Amino acid sequence: MSKEQRAKIDAMVRRPRPQGPRSIEEIRAGFRALMAEMIVPSGILTTAATLGERPALLVEPVAGARAGTILYFHGGSYVSGSPETALSLTGNLVARTGFSAFSLDYRLAPEHPFPAAIEDALSAYGALLDSGAEPGAIAFAGDSAGGGLTVTTCLAARDAGLPLPAAIVAFSPGLDATRTGESMHTKEGIDPFLTREGLRPTEDMYLAGQDPHHPLLSPAVLADLTGFPPMLLQVGTNEILLDDSTRTAARAMAAGVDVVLDVTADVPHVFQAFAGVLDEADEALDRAALFLGQRLGTPDTAVR
């Protein structure tokens, strides 16, 4: 692990950004530009697809896929992002596990506020099941807002009477719209990406006036996680969203769920996206790949 690497990443994400209110077009363009700097691994193929009623990107290993499917939800605060912006993360999971992944292009706020993203994610999961995929061979994975969708989609699936997937992997998930975690204050200024105040504009777009005290908006403090599949929550200590993961892990444990809380020191929000330039990112993705390989019920669990 390299202090120099971490310092370089920290300086990169602290680069000056436009001040004052930004339009939704500017927010989306800025996020695309940031994620375009991430390294997409070799050895994968991408194909446009449809899942449910939404576009998706099918990501497969060139060498051929093993049995098992990752349903991936991209980050972007529910207002920006796409399967393409998340390709460094999805591609790394595919390259390391040998599984195929569908990365969902769910609807975004403000045009489509809560609960549109959850509805799309649930529809995509239902489409996978209808295609003949076994729930024991499906895992939900996602980052940031998409990490939140791994949990809220599982809640929605359970409420709809659907069988639950075999596993959840969430990178720096957003799981508390009430913003009541202590890390919202203790990590202020330490987090190079996010601030409490900076989250408000996009949060307001997604909530569209809804009370954040709802299990599908704040599962870290309000959801009953009984019956959930095994969960891996990966987060960095330099995140204001740190307590979103720690409190969700505590709720899962209290509900009798197998949960791994994987905390890496001195790294920022969704640090896994820096695979190829940050050792901790590659190591975390290796751990995620091992977790997925062990949970999707296939004998070939070697990390690639």
Which are the catalytic amino acids?
A: 144, 239, 269
114 backbone φψ class: left, alpha, beta (φ>0; ψ -120 to 50): beta
Q: Is 169 exposed, middle or buried (0-12, 13-18, 19+ CB in 10 A)?
A: buried
- Which residue type, as a one-letter code, is found at position 190? I
Contact 286, 279 (CB under 8 A): no
> CB-based contacts of 248: which residues, under 8 Å, 6+ apart?
151, 173, 175, 219, 220, 225, 231, 233
Contacts of 133-137 with CB under 8 Å at 24 or more apart are 133/69, 135/162, 135/163, 135/164, 135/165, 135/166, 136/166, 136/296, 136/297, 137/67, 137/68, 137/69, 137/166, 137/296, 137/297, 137/298
Burial of 80 (0-12, 13-18, 19+ CB in 10 A): buried
Q: What angle do CA 194, 151, 137 make, to 5 degrees?
A: 125
- In this structure, which amino acid lies at residue 119? E
